[in-house]
């Protein structure tokens, strides 16, 4: 057998499973695309460039994995980021006077993380005492939720007061969050919470802020009505009943909803008419 140091294979024979399209190789080739935040270089772009530049066909699934590999090379792994979280929170407190942070683990695993920046705490003292509470899920392989508390400034722009990262959304995690929020904002007269009515938040508020008023978010109620009753024909009347200033006007629109769709009326009354 004689070794010939001449490559004679045509580019046409390179298929999706060709070893030259290995994840780590392509990841290193494209990693510079992700040095700027907010880049839109996605799996389809990777497929096009691999075909145009190297003549290699790759599947969308492989291209997506190459993207994940490249992000790891540039930004590190999620596990590394969680390990650095406590140091990051410490520096936040050092560089932002008045900042409150907390980091909780259980059996060496991440459980809760809370952040309320000092300037946000100080600024909220001059705001209307109305805050909105909601959560969103995290889009990574470990999952989790980010819980947020925001207010509206004088220009009706969102103003973040505090946020928290948790593994699971439940009674304990919400009680922890609301307790830390009480530490961040203190006691405020006539404080009102706007929320989407999950039982965990309501339970936490009743324990930690027993004197605060909590209201139901119109947007979430409207979404729930559409999902439950598969209709939005009462949308205009619901919106009008929510935003009128006089109780008599509100009752008039509510009666219209009752005539249009009695089951929706029963559902709204179950939420609590005062909400």
Instruction: Give the model confidence (pLDDT) of 164-214 as tens digits.
Output: 888 777 788 888 888 999 999 988 888 988 887 667 778 888 888 888 887
Residue 88: other Cβ atoms inside 10 A:
13
Q: Which two tokens stand for residue 143?
A: 């999952």
In the chain, which residue ranges form alpha helices assigned H by DSSP? 23-30, 43-54, 60-75, 78-95, 118-124, 171-185, 199-208, 218-229, 235-243, 247-260, 262-271
Residue 38 · residue 19 · CB < 8 Å: no
**Which letter, b or e, does each residue of 52-62 get, where b requires 16 or more Cβ atoms within 10 Å of its Cβ?**
eebebebeeeb
Residue 147 · residue 169 · CB < 8 Å: yes
Of 68-77, 174-183, 221-230, the least confident? 221-230
Q: Is the pLDDT of residue 217 over 60?
A: yes
Q: Is the pLDDT of residue 9 over 80?
A: no
Cβ-based neighbours of 67, under 8 Å, separated by 6 or more: 30, 41, 42, 43, 46
Q: Is the pLDDT of residue 241 over 70?
A: yes
pLDDT band with cut points at 50, 70 and 90 for residue 20: low
- 113-156 pLDDT, tens digit per residue, is 899 999 999 999 888 899 988 878 887 777 788 888 999 888 88
Please indicate whether residue 10 or residue 141 has the higher confidence score (pLDDT).
141
Residue 215 · residue 193 · CB < 8 Å: yes
Cβ-based neighbours of 37, under 8 Å, separated by 6 or more: none
Give the CA distances from residue 165 to residues 73, 109, 145, 149, 200, in Å, rounded to whole numbers and listed in that order: 25, 13, 6, 12, 16
pLDDT for 237 equals 83
Q: What are the start and end residues of each CATH 3.30.420 domain in the chain?
A: 88-216
Sheet of 109-116: strands edge to edge? 100-106, 109-116, 158-166, 145-152, 130-137, 192-195, 213-216
Which of 235, 224, 230, 236 lies closest to 267 in space, CA to CA?
224
Classify domain 88-216 by CATH number.
3.30.420
| Mean pLDDT, rounded, of the chain | 83
Query: Half-sphere exposure of 256 toward its Cβ, with a 13 Å CA cutoff?
Result: 15
Q: What is the mean pLDDT of residues 61-79?
A: 87
Which run of H or of E encompasses 100? strand 100-106
Determine phi and psi for 142, rounding to 5 degrees.
Answer: -90, -15
Q: What is the mean pLDDT of residues 229-254?
A: 83
**Which letter, b or e, does each residue of 214-227 get, where b requires 16 or more Cβ atoms within 10 Å of its Cβ?**
bebbeeebbebbee
């Amino acid at each position: 057998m004689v070794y010939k140091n001449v490559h004679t294979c045509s580019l046409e024979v390179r298929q999706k499973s060709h070893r030259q399209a290995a994840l780590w190789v392509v990841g290193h080739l494209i990693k510079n695309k992700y040095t700027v935040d907010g880049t839109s270089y996605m799996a389809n772009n990777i497929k096009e460039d691999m075909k145009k530049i190297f003549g290699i066909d790759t599947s969308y699934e492989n291209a997506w994995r190459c993207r994940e590999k490249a992000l790891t090379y540039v930004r590190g792994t999620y596990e590394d980021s969680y390990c650095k979280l406590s140091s990051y929170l410490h520096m936040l407190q050092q560089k932002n006077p008045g900042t409150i942070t907390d980091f909780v683990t259980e059996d060496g695993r991440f459980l809760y993380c809370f952040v309320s920046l000092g300037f946000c705490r100080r600024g909220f003292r001059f705001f209307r005492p109305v805050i909105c509470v909601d959560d969103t899920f995290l889009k990574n392989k470990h999952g989790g939720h980010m819980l947020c508390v925001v207010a509206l400034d004088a220009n009706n722009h969102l103003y973040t007061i505090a946020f928290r990262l948790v593994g699971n959304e439940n009674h304990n995690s919400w009680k922890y969050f609301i307790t830390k929020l009480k530490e961040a904002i203190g006691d405020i007269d006539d404080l009102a919470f706007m929320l989407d009515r999950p039982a965990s938040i309501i339970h936490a508020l009743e324990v930690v802020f027993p004197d605060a008023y909590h209201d139901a978010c119109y947007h979430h109620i409207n979404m729930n009505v559409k999902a439950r009753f598969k209709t939005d024909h009462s949308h205009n009347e619901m919106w009008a009943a929510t935003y009128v200033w006089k109780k008599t006007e509100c009752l008039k629109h509510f009666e219209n909803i009752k005539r249009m769709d009695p089951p929706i009326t029963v559902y709204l009354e179950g939420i609590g008419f005062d909400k």
